[in-house]
Amino acid sequence: MTSEIVNNREWNSWRWQLRHSIRSLGQLKKYLPRIRITSGLEKVYKRYPMAITPYYAKLIHHPDDSDPVFRIAVAQAIEIDDKDSVLPEDPLGEDRHVPVAGLIRRYKNRALIISTAQCAVFCRHCSRKRFAGSHSIRLTGTELKNICTYLKQNPEINDVIISGGDPLLLDNSSLKSILLALRSIKSVEIIRIGTRTPVVLPMRINARLVNTLKEFHPLYINTHFNHPVEITREATRACALLADAGIPLGNQTVLLKNVNDNAAVLAELFNNLLKIRVKPYYLFHCDSVKGARHFKTSVNTGRDIMKQLRSELSQIALPAYVMDTHDKGKIAL
């Protein structure tokens, strides 16, 4: 795939992976020489940034839209299709539920911290496309302090999710200062981290990181596998390290047209997740987000798939099929 010789130590370094991520047309051609470039692609990733770790790029088997990993990660001209302009950038109205900078609160007892807007791979279907990749968003010390003050004043919030972007793109010490701050608040009982690194940057999960994380139990991690090809040896190892540190792992899949919108693919995914000790948690109906319309399926498709899965899989392998809404939160479909 690439002519450069890379040694194992470099390949297994998460910082090396980030430094060598595909962010432009030139790099895309270098990694996927057989790719057919559609015109206007540069305009797309200038609006919605592209980043693909070399590790994740290796999971692309066909350099076109028929390949699930290609479809998830490679920018496509259709994202800035003008017909899209009627769709909202913030379909969940998250920006209206920010009581203090850096914190989204859409539920009485749960709140979510936007720790960074950076991700190892920018998913083309991301519902936070409006800010994913923005360099101006990064939780500052003052913001963290203000969030903690707010959490102390609102002790009914007992469950805090550290999200983004991807919080595991922060270095260990920044991450630790967030965790320490949250653990100093008595009313915060549960801490959760939402991260896609086990899927797109599994080398981020190393002994040093899990030794830090396990000081903050009860700590839960939700990750984001969408397709069975993402469950590699490296991803398996990452999940094993986390599970061995006593961190319960859940998975949020997004139902994506021409990626995983069929029962056989999802049955294999959910079953294989259980084998690596990851519990399928949510299957999200794809939000109506600007720039991601080409991923949307119908609710009927989703319901038919769930019906089939219920007859084939055990209850523990079944996620809840939900749609996120701007006024009622997540609703079961």
Ligand X SMILES: *Cc1c(COP(=O)(O)O)cnc(C)c1O
Contact set with ligand X (CB under 6 A): 104, 106-107, 110, 112, 161, 330
Residue 166 near which of ligand X, ligand SF4, none (CB within 5-8 Å, type-dependent): ligand SF4
Q: Which has the closest alpha carbon to 225: 121, 107, 110, 105?
A: 121
Give all strands (DSSP E) within 225-311, no chain letters.
249-255, 278-285
Least Å from the CB of residue 107 to ligand X:
6
Least Å from the CB of residue 34 to ligand SF4:
25
Residue 165 near which of ligand X, ligand SF4, none (CB within 5-8 Å, type-dependent): ligand SF4
Residue 110 near which of ligand SF4, ligand X, none (CB within 5-8 Å, type-dependent): ligand X
For tokens 């992976």, what's the residue?
A: 17
Residues 176, 183: Cα–Cα separation, whole Å: 10
Least Å from the CB of residue 97 to ligand X:
7
Structure tokens at 173: 């010490």
Least Å from the CB of residue 92 to ligand X:
7
Pairing of strands 103-104, 329-332: unpaired
Residue 196 near which of ligand SF4, ligand X, none (CB within 5-8 Å, type-dependent): ligand SF4
Least Å from the CB of residue 255 to ligand X:
16
- Residues within the interface to ligand SF4 (CB under 6 A): 119, 122-123, 126, 128, 132, 164-166, 196
Structure tokens at 255: 């139902």
Residue 239 near which of ligand SF4, ligand X, none (CB within 5-8 Å, type-dependent): none
Query: Which DSSP string corresponds to 115-126?
Result: -BS--SS--TT-
Instruction: Give the residue with the Cβ less far from ligand SF4, 289 or 313.
Output: 289
Residues 333, 45: Cα–Cα separation, whole Å: 33
Instruction: Give the residue with the Cβ less far from ligand SF4, 293 or 313.
Output: 293
Least Å from the CB of residue 116 to ligand SF4:
10
Residue 204 near which of ligand X, ligand SF4, none (CB within 5-8 Å, type-dependent): none
Residues 171, 207: Cα–Cα separation, whole Å: 14
Residue 112 near which of ligand SF4, ligand X, none (CB within 5-8 Å, type-dependent): ligand X
Least Å from the CB of residue 143 to ligand X:
17
Q: Which residues of 35-57 are buried (b: 16+ CB within 10 A; e: fewer)?
A: beeeeebeebbeebbbbbbbbbb
Residues 324, 48: Cα–Cα separation, whole Å: 22
Instruction: Give the residue with the Cβ less far from ligand SF4, 171 or 244.
Output: 171
Instruction: Give the residue with the Cβ less far from ligand X, 53 or 116.
Output: 116
Instruction: Give the residue with the Cβ less far from ligand X, 172 or 187.
Output: 187
326: helix, strand or coil: coil
- DSSP H helices, 106-223, are 141-153, 172-183, 197-200, 207-213
Q: Which has the closest alpha carbon to 70: 50, 85, 46, 95?
A: 50
Q: Which residue is nearest to ligand X (CB)?
A: 112
My answer on whether omega of the bond before 218 falls inside 30° of 0, hence cis, is: yes
Instruction: Give the residue with the Cβ less far from ligand X, 84 or 90.
Output: 90
Least Å from the CB of residue 162 to ligand SF4:
12
Instruction: Give the residue with the Cβ less far from ligand SF4, 269 or 313.
Output: 269
Q: Are 170 and 152 in contact (CB under 8 A)?
A: no
Residues 288, 24: Cα–Cα separation, whole Å: 27
End-to-end CA distance of the chain: 41
Instruction: Give the residue with the Cβ less far from ligand SF4, 14 or 122.
Output: 122
Residue 123 near which of ligand SF4, ligand X, none (CB within 5-8 Å, type-dependent): ligand SF4
